Structures are given as structure tokens and as C-alpha cells.
Structure 1
Amino acid sequence: MNSLDWTVLIAYFGVMVAIGVWSHKRVGDVSDYFTAGGRMPWWLSGISHHMSGYSAVMFTGYAGISYQYGITSYVTWALPIAIGVAIGARTFAPRLNRVRARLHVSSPLEYLKNRYNLTTQQALAWSGVLLKIVDVGAKWAAIATLLSVFTGVTITQGIVITGAITAVYCTVGGLWADALTELGQFVIQLVAGLAMLVAALHRLGGISSVWNVWDEPALHHHNHPTAGPYTTVFLISYLFIKTFEYNGGMWNQAQRYMATSSPREATRGAALSAALWFVWPVVLFFPMWISPLLVHAKKPDGSDSYGLLAQDLLPHGLLGLIVVGFFSHTMAMCSSDANAIAAVVTRDIAPAFSQRAREWTARIGLIAARITTLAFLGLSMAVATQVNSPTFKDIITVVIKWVAGLMGPIAIPFMLGLLPRFRKSGPTAALSSWALGLLAFYLVNYPINDAVSGGVNLEYQIALPLVVSLVLYIVVGWIRPEETDERNALIATINSPDLDGVEEGAPPAGSGSGPEEGPLRPAPAE
């Protein structure tokens, strides 16, 4: 990078901070901070939902998969997300919006105390927070790795720089700042991604290379949908996992659905995100698929291939814009996760342990939310320095094995608890699904993996915990149904479209984790 590239990068950081300061004026309470007060337009929600699903891992870990296996990176990652979000546009998006509007909550998990019980809510909250600390740590490590390729700064310095900038804007401006910076990041990545695509096509001889390039020996098998450890079983498993994860199972995407003004707007935002997932990753991935023709990766897994490609193909200025694109994706996801975790900690965990937290004023609650956001970012940055340790092995291992494998036990009780079909599944089903799903992850990744010659295949490492959790949630609910009038009333409140678009009155008693207690009742008719 030269002075022009650094100017682009520093200007980007300045714009992000300015957006955070501007967004600060729109944040008056925890509802504004965590769900934008339910005033976010559907198109901004959709773009924000889409952008919060990316990080620099795409340009390191998935660039390595593209370098080794070609289009498998899209077929087994972006495509399952696109299909999953399209499914969730009508299945989960409107229900999550009603959770905010009718139960008057600010955290995705607040409804779980009444849907199951306090123990279930706390189990899902604590395990999800711990998992996200590791997940976001991997994202910081990924962007720091790329930054070191371009600038020569150390991994630790890269982690501190990106984390500090993110902390400023997302702590000050809340979800509004996250969404508006994600909009700006989308525009930046649009320009940067198209620039890289045009440069790669130009180097290979023009637009005809899109269909002619696959005959090259270096791209042998690069046009196979599944390859290596990314098999058909892996693809099917990932489709289920990403359907839960990207429709709210890991909470930050749930906030985008909750932030819109109505269930219809939430559905439109989800549909926009799904369309972007179908199309935009193809543009980003194509240069990665053909990268073996242009560069020789220095790392065995090819995770440095995209960085080398950018240095080889792009002039200064555009190179700086590509680096900005790396930052934009990672900062979008990490700030999004930080806001979601702060919501869970301040609205779900703290009130369960502290009477004082249940009595916070709007001002104190907002201060607590900002402090929690900073604490989460600090912990995840500390974890980032250990991502390449023997415990985690490497970035892509954390993202695929840990996050995908552990997401199911945490997300299934939360997501399926919204649906009437699973009304019989109560606290016993939820806790059994959660606990034994986590146990399955441990067994298949450690004792069983160590005992099997050659280890357990990746697809089974990520699929088994999800299958165990899903089966137990359904079967235990059938064997030991725990329906109550209060739980049925809550489910009816979330699922009834009758009041969509109608202003609700005061929140039902016990709707959140605040001082109110008591059973939830359906929202009153108009």
C-alpha cells in the first residue's frame, strides 16, 4: 500500500466514526439502541441483514476453499444461506417482528422466559454469548491476517486497530449505526468487487473467459459443485444450519427483522437479503475461483490467495478500496454481533441475577448496553490473538466446525419455539435439545474423532449436533408435552396476523426480562 491507499483507508475510518456520531442522536433508549425503535425501512434492513453475514473470513478462509476447490465455496456456503433466508422470509421474519411489536422486547431472547422458563433462557443466552466471543474473535483474526499482508503490521496490531474503530461507532450509535455503516459498506464492496472482477477478466482475455477458463489444467475439477471435504452431506447439513443461523438463530440477524415497522416490511427485507445472497457472492467469488491461474498461494490452505490477487491485479487507490472492503465486511458482522450480545446480556442475563438490573432507568439501561458492547468487543479481541493456537487450529476451523457445529443446539429451541407446530415442546424438550446437542458436538469432535482412524469427516462433525438437537426437541416434546394456557397464548400472539399494521397498546405483563412478571396474553383485538 502507498499513500493513496492509506488515504482511502483512513477516509473510510473517518466516515464510519462520523456515522456513529450522527446515529447517536437517534438513540434515546434501549429500544432504539437494539432494534432501531422499529423504524428501520425494509430496504435498509435487507441490506444490513445481508452485509452482517459477511466478514474477512470470506477473503481468507473461503478464498482458500475457492483456490483449492473452485465453485464449491459458493455452492456449499452462499447458496445454502440464500435458500435459507428465502425460506425464513415468510417463516421467521414476520414472527420475530411481532415478538418486538407485541411483546415489547428489545432482545431476541427475552420471550424465552415465558415460552419455556428462566433456566432455558439463561442456558441459551450464556452458551450463545460464549460461542459468539469465539466466533467474532475468528473474524478479528481474519481481518488482521489480511491487514498484515497489505501493510506489514502485526496480527495483534491489526486486531487492536479494527476493534477500536468498530467500538467507537457501534457503541455510540447502536443498531442505527450498524445498519447505516453496512449500507455504506455495501456501496464500497459493490465498487471494489466489480473492480476486482473486471481486472481478473481483463487479465484472462475478456468476458469469454467466464466460460472458457474451466478447461485450464490448473482449474481441474474447479467447476464441481462439491469437492474435498465439502460433500453433498455437508451441503445438506449447511442448508439446515444456515436456515436457522441466518434467520435469527445467532441473534444479530433477528434484530434486523425486529427493527422494521411491520411483519410485511420484515418479509420484504428478508427477501431482498436472499436475492443478494443468490447473486452478489458469485461476483465476489469468481476472481477467487480462477486465482490459481494468476497467483501462487504461499500458505498451504490458500488463505492468502485473494490478498495476493488484489496486489497483483489492482492499481493503488483501488487496492486501498479492496482493503476497505475487507474491513467493511468484518466490521459489519462484528459490530452486528456486539449489539446483539449486548442486548442479550443487559436484557436477559443481568436481570436474572440482579434486582438492580431489573429496575434500571432508560438512561442507566442505555449506559449498561454501551459498556456491555465494549466488554464483548474486548473479550473477542483477546480471543482473536489465540485463534491460530492448537486449541482452535485456524480461522476456517473456528468458523465452520465450531460455529456451525454449536449453532444448532443454541438456535433450535429459540427458532422452533416461535412456531405453532412445536407448541408441545416445553422446557424439558428445549433443555434436552440444548444439552445433548452440545454433548454430541464434544463427543464427535474430540473423543470419537481421536479414536477413529483418520478422524471423523467434517460433514458429520457439524451435522450430528444439529440432528441430535432437532430430533430431541421434537421427540421429547411429543413424549412429554408441556403445553400451558400461557404458552399457547404467547405462541398465538406471535403467530396471529390479525393485528399486523395495527398499533398495539401497553405491553402484556411479563413480556420481557424487566420487573414485570406474570403470564403473557394475546394482544387485544382492535
Structure 2
Amino acid sequence: MNPPGFSLVLATAAPGLSGYDYAIIAVYVVFLLVVGLVFRGMSRNTSDYFRCGGAMPWWITGTSAWLSVFSAWAFVGAASDVYRSGLHVMLVFYASVPAMIGVTAYTCVRFRRLRVITWMEAVRERFGPATEQFYTWVRVPIELVKAGFTLMSISVFAAAVLHVGVNPVIVVLGVTITVVAFAGGAFAVLASDFVQLLLVMTITTLAVVLTLRDPAVGGLGGLVTQLEATHPAHLRLWEAFRPAVLAAFGVAFMSVKAVELNSLEFSTMYLMPKNEVHARRMPWIPLVGGLVGPVLWVIPPLAATLLYPDLGAVFPQLAKPSEGAFVAVALRVMPVGLIGLLMCAMFGATLTNMDAAVNKYVGVFVRSFYRPVLSPHASERTLLLVSKGCTLAFGAAIIALAVLINTHRRSDIFTLLNQFMVSLALPLTVPVFFGFFYRRTPGWSAWVTALACFGFSAWANFRFAHAVERADFVAGLPAWIQGELGGPQAVLSAAERSDVLLAVTVLGTLLVGTLVFFGSTFWYRRTGDGERARVEAMFLKLRTPLTPAPATGGAGSEAGVYRLLGLLCLVYGAFVLLLMAIPNGLVGRLCFLFVGGTIGGAGAVLYAISRRKSGAGPAPAVN
């Protein structure tokens, strides 16, 4: 029996949200703005503003590190892939696990020993100021465009679900991101990440439980049985994809994650924990989360394949209706108000990723361009003010780009920009991955390698992409590859062509990058003594454990972070508990009790710890 106000979504009707859902989303946006204001006084210099002074506990930095590697894509893009291709997306989700094992076992401590404020400063130490400027002027614009794409994508989806205009959603979400990053810096970014992780995981857990509880699904056993009967290839991938294509796709994605998560660029979050012990603990959160999260995220869209064979009838506003698979099931099984919290979780998964990126690349611009080029003698106070001004400017630029991209998203300009972004990401990461572990290359090896990789990646995305679309593509391949793909007459499916394109782009880019980067070793002997001394000094730091520095107190103390974060969790947890008053049945009220109790309970624990730490005095930091 459905409780009052609990409406099922019919497969032939466009789903809608209740007034409660809209109010919950509005309160959530206000809450995020408050988070930024609460932490506005904690940054006294750029080290505080960009990395929390390198004094954060492992659990809060680990939370942010996990959220930084996924976004609303887990609920939208990944759900679409599950709806269309079943468990194929698990290759993407679990590709990061081997990389995170490497981070946990080795790289995390090396990251912390860099002792820099931004990752670009580590690029300067390894490759010199010329490479630092190259990366700054290439990477920052790319990240602004990427953020514009991300903001536009989540806004288009949210607008379709909320039945509002796309541009107003872009502006509201963009302003929220900017205010949080501007007012609170890295402190606000980490705090909002922690609250939003609690929200994301509790809501996701409920979505899974309520989905399996639906009589039409029949529990996990019923879901598997029905999929075996109606969509067997969703569970047995080898029936829809050739094993060779799956293997190439899996190896390519694991290679991407291995390079990305162990490169200098990924060190940002690992510059924040207060010592090496915390740095070693930190990656366990994204590692465990990366193992557990995907199992939860795939269940609702798998159920959608049974409950909604035609999602186009449910979400006619979406260009790709399959992207609504997760939300369609949630609208069916969740009580009134809880879908609003789900939308908040989706917003949070994206906003935390974006405000961290804004903070990260403002730091790169200020510390690697403004300070060394425009104002070498600027004081920390001046740099902090410039950082806040740049945050506002970057936020405005991202909003403008998102609106512009939305205007042209159905034209060739959108496709061109998207391909351009794909072609640049990996090439720029390859040299700062190799250079973090291997020292005997000249400073120019990074930008030369990046340009070489870019050349191959551009060829793959603009030339090979057309070749793989031809019906006779397999016939033109070497005989041994034809044998793996089923012979010269084999025709690849659309999904297989996409996987082959990605595998060739990634593996070819890595091959070119490896040859060029390590080939530059022959010129290392010609480098000057100053350059060699700089590189040796960096690698000496990586071998030298962190040493304690004098204890410091003040607003940015650890106790203060615990207290403020505890209070924020208590406030938002109390708000969610108040939602138990919405006219739902027992199950619906218990759902809000679970979410609000989890967030509020975490807040109570943090606040109690803050009182104990306040009595014990400030803990020593590290250099």
C-alpha cells in the first residue's frame, strides 16, 4: 500500500517532483552557500586557502579524494551505460582499483613529501619554470572549458527532471560553486565534500534497498533471474562484446587511471593531510569506496531495463533518455521528498568535484603565474586577495562557458570541443606521471612529450575515429587481429567501435609518450648543473620524511575544523529529520530517519571530538 502522496511513476507519463522536493533542493543550495560563509575566516594565507595549511585529518581529505574522481556521471552517464549495455560500465568503475592500490602502497607518501602548495609548483621543481608556464597556460584554460562542460551537462539533466530552463540552473549551480570556493577556500571545499559524501551514500543505499524491495523487481535474486531471461548480455558481457574488445578497453582504462592517479597532478588532495601517517590512511577511503560504490550504483539502472523498456516516454525532454534510468526508478520507489534529496546528492557529487577544481586551478594561476611573473614580491596577504578575486573571475568564466556550450551543444562546435578536450587530457598527464618517478630527463622533456602525445591523440580522435566507423574496418586490420575479432567480414557494433577508439587512443598515446619521454634521456647529460641540482633536490625531498613543526592554534586549528564541521552536520541532519513530518508511510519516515540520523550522528561525534581536542591543545603540524 502506497502512503498518502507517494505516487508511482507510470512508464507512459513524464515523472514530476513534488513541492516538498523543490523546497528540499532550495534548502540544500542555501546550505552549501552557508558552508562557504562559515569557513570564510579560516584562510590566513594561500597555503590555507589552497591546501588547508597541510594540517587536515585523513578522513576528511580521503573523503574529498574519493569524491574528486566521480561526479553525477555515476547517476547519469554510468546509469545510461548500464541501461544500454549492462555491467560493461564496471570495467570503468573498477579500472581505478589497481591504481589506488599503488597510491595506497607507495605514492601517497611521496605526494605529501612534495611540500608544495600547488601541484604546479612541483612541476616547476621537476621540469623548470618554462615547463611550469607551458602547463599553466595550457592546463588552466582546458580545465575552465571542462568545468563548463560539466556544469552544462548536469544542468541539462536537472532542468529536464525539474521542468525548468537550462540556463537558470547553470547560473544557480555556478554561483553556488563560486561562493563556496571563494568564501571558504579549501576548508569549505573539504567540509562540503564530507557532508555530501554522507548524503550521497545514504541516499544511494536507500535507492538500492527500495529498488530491490519493489515487487516488480523481486529482490536481488528476482532482478538477476529476470535479466537472465530478458537481457542476458547485460550480465554476460561476452555475448554482446567480443572478448578482445573488452580486454583492450579494460587495459586502456586501467592504464589511464594508473597514469592519472599516480601523477603529480593528482597530488593536490595529498598535500593536505597533516603528516605521513594520515597520508597513508587517506587513500583507503577512495579505495574501499571504489570497491563498494559501483555495486550500489548499477542496481537501479539494471532494474530500469525491466521496469521502463522505453525511457523516451518517461523523459521525452532528454536527448538521451537512458541517462534518466537511475532517476526513473528512484521516482517510482522513493517516498515524497526523498527524490529531492537524491537530486541534492547528484548536485553534490558534481559540485564538490567542480569547486575543488576551481580552487585547485586558481591556486595554479596565482602561485605559478601571478606570483612569479607579475608580482614576484607580493605579500601573502596580497596573494590571498588575488586568489579570491581570481576565484570569482574563474567562476564567472565557467558560468559563461556553460551557457555558451549549451547554446551550441547540438552543433558541430560542441562535438569539436568535446573531441578537443579528450585529445588533450591524457597527453598532458603522461609526462608528469613519468617525471614523478624518473629523474634523468631534461626540463623540456615534459612539454615535448605532451605535444607528441597530443599529436597522436588528435590523429586518433579526428582520423582514426572515422576509419573505425567503416563497415570494412576489420578487413583492413592485420590477420591476427582479424582472428580475434571474428574474421575479415566481422562488423563491430556501435559500442564496440567506441571501445576500440578509446583503446587505440589511450594505448597509442601512452606508447608515444613513453618513447619520447624516455628517449629524451640521451640529452640529460647536456643539462646544466643548476637544473640537475634542482631535480636532485626534489627527489631528495621525496626520500626525506616529514618532520614536526611547532604547534599552531587559531581559527584554522584541527579542533576548529571538527567543531564547525560537526555543527554543519548537526544542522543539516536535523533538517532531514524534520522531513519525517512529510505525509509518508512508515517506510518513508524511516528513510528520512536513516539519512538524517546518519548525518546528524556523524556531526555529534565530530563535535564531541572537537571539545576533547580543544582541551588537549593544538597538535603539531609538519613542514
Aligned 8 A contact 2:148 2:398 in 1: yes
Measured in 1, the distance between the counterparts of 2:113 and 2:119 equals: 11
**What are the residue-to-residue correspondences of 1:79-158 with 2, within 5 Å?**
79-100=94-115, 105-158=116-169
Match of 1:282 in 2: 295
Q: CA deviation at 1:22?
A: 1.7
Q: 1:403 to 1:196 in 2, by over 3 A?
A: farther
Whole-Å separation in 2 of the counterparts to 1:402 and 1:195: 39
TM-superposition CA deviations, 1:151-190 (whole Å, max 9, x none): 1112212111111111111111111111110100011111
Whether contact under 8 Å (1:115, 1:426) holds in the other structure is no
Is residue 197 of structure 2 the alignment partner of residue 176 of structure 1? no
2:46 partner amino acid: V
Match of 1:69 among 85, 107, 111: 85
Q: Mapping of 1:13-52 within 5 angstroms?
A: 13-52=29-68
- Please point out which of 270, 293, 296 is paired with 2:306: 293
1:382 to 393, 396, 400: 400
1:324 counterpart residue number: 344
How far apart are residue 219 of structure 1 and its match? 4.9
Any conservation in 2 of the 1:234–1:463 contact (CA below 8 Å)?
no
**Change in 2 beyond 3 A, CA 1:428/1:194:** same
- Aligned residues of 1:19 and 1:177 also touching (Cα < 8 A): yes
Q: Does 1:346 align with 2:346?
A: no
Partner SS for 1:110: helix
Whichever residue aligns with residue 162 of structure 1, its letter is L
**Contact between 1:69 and 1:228, CA under 8 Å: does it hold in 2?**
no
Structure 1 residue 461 corresponds to structure 2 residue 479: no
8 Å contact kept, 1:146–1:307: no
Higher mean displacement: 482-491 or 322-331: 482-491
Gaps of 5+ in 2: 1-16, 313-318, 471-496, 551-622
Question: Are positions 1:439 and 2:488 aligned together?
Answer: no
Q: Does the residue aligned with 2:117 lie in a helix, a strand or coil?
A: coil
Worse overlay, 13-22 or 206-215: 206-215
The amino acid of 2:537's aligned partner reads L
Q: What do residues 410-429 of structure 1 show as CA deviations (whole Å, max 9, x unaligned)?
A: 1222233222xx11122232
Native 8 Å contact 1:219 1:292 kept in 2 = no
Instruction: Give the Å deviation of 1:408.
Output: 2.4
Conserved? CA contact 2:427–2:457, under 8 Å: no
What amino acid is the match of 1:424?
R
SS at match of 1:153: coil
Q: How many Å separate the matches in 2 of 1:216 and 1:501?
A: 61
CA distance in 1, matches of 2:510, 2:167: 34
Distance between the aligned counterparts of 1:380 and 1:228, measured in 2? 38
Aligned partner of 1:370 in structure 2 is 388
Deviates further, 238-247 or 273-282: 238-247
Q: 1:349 to 1:235 in 2, by over 3 A?
A: farther
Q: Which residue of 2 aligns with 1:263?
A: 276
1:61-117 Cα offsets, whole Å, 9 max, x none, are 222111111111122x221122212212233221221112xxxx3111112223222
8 Å CA contact retained: 2:227, 2:306:
no
Superposition TM-score, scaled by structure 1 size: 0.86
1:466 to 1:405, Cα distance in 2 relative to 1, 3 A: farther
Distance apart, 1:265 and its partner CA: 1.6
CA distance in 2, matches of 1:269, 1:458: 31
The letter of the residue matching 1:375 is A
CA contact (8 A) 1:115 1:417 kept: yes
* Alpha carbons 1:94, 1:262 under 8 Å: kept: no
| 2:256 aligned residue | 241
Q: Find the residue that maps to 1:490 and give its secondary structure.
A: helix
Which residue, out of 242, 246, 254, partners 1:231? 246
Aligned partner of residue 145 in structure 1, secondary structure: helix
Q: Does the 8 Å CA contact 2:126/2:435 hold for their aligned counterparts?
A: yes
1:312 aligned to which of 310, 329, 332:
332
Distance in structure 2 (CA, Å) of the matches to 1:202 and 1:451: 47
Question: 2:504 matched to 1:496?
Answer: no
CA distance in 2, matches of 1:312, 1:179: 33
Q: Please give the alpha-carbon distance, in whole angstroms, between the structure 1 residues aligned to 2:420 and 2:71.
A: 16
Deviates more, 1:384-393 or 1:367-376: 384-393
Asked whether the equivalents of residues 406 and 465 of structure 1 are also in contact (C-alpha less than 8 Å), the reply is: no
RMSD of Structure 2 on Structure 1 (CA): 2.7
- Distance, in Å, in 1 between the alignment partners of 2:68 and 2:421 is 15
Matches within 5 A, 1:152-167: 152-167=163-178
Structure 1 position 342, deviation (Å): 0.4
Q: CA deviation at 1:301?
A: 6.7
Whole-Å separation in 2 of the counterparts to 1:371 and 1:227: 52
Measure the CA separation in 1 of the matches of 2:526 and 2:311.
56
Q: After alignment, is 152-161 or 383-392 more displaced?
A: 383-392
For 1:457 and 1:83, locate their aligned partners in 2 and report how far apart those are by CA, in whole Å.
Answer: 23
Contact preservation (8 Å) 2:88, 2:237: yes
Q: Would the aligned equivalents of 1:24 and 1:172 in 2 still touch at CA under 8 Å?
A: yes
2:57 and 2:278 in contact (8 A); partners too:
yes
Counterparts in 2 of 1:437 and 1:3: CA distance versus 1, 3 Å: same
User: Which residue of structure 2 lines up, in the alignment, with residue 408 of structure 1?
Assistant: 426
**1:348-377 alpha-carbon deviations (Å, 9 max, x no partner):** 1223431x2x22222221121122222222
Contact between 1:140 and 1:384, CA under 8 Å: does it hold in 2?
yes
1:232 alignment partner AA = A
The offset of 1:384, in angstroms, is: 2.4
Amino acid at match of 1:406: L
Distance in 2 (alpha carbons) for counterparts of 1:347 and 1:187: 33
1:53 match: secondary structure:
coil
Residue type at the aligned position of 2:378: W
| Residues 474-524 of structure 1, C-alpha deviations (whole Å, 9 max, x = no match) | 222256556654134223323214x334449xxxxxxxxxxxxxxxxxxxx
Q: Radius of gyration: which is bigger? A: 2
Q: What is the alpha-carbon distance in structure 2 between the residues aligned to residue 321 and residue 210 of structure 1?
A: 25
Q: In structure 2, what residue type is equivalent to 1:426?
A: P
Q: Would the aligned equivalents of 1:60 and 1:142 in 2 still touch at CA under 8 Å?
A: no
Deviates more, 1:198-207 or 1:460-469: 460-469
- Aligned counterparts of 1:300 and 1:376: Cα–Cα separation in 2: 30
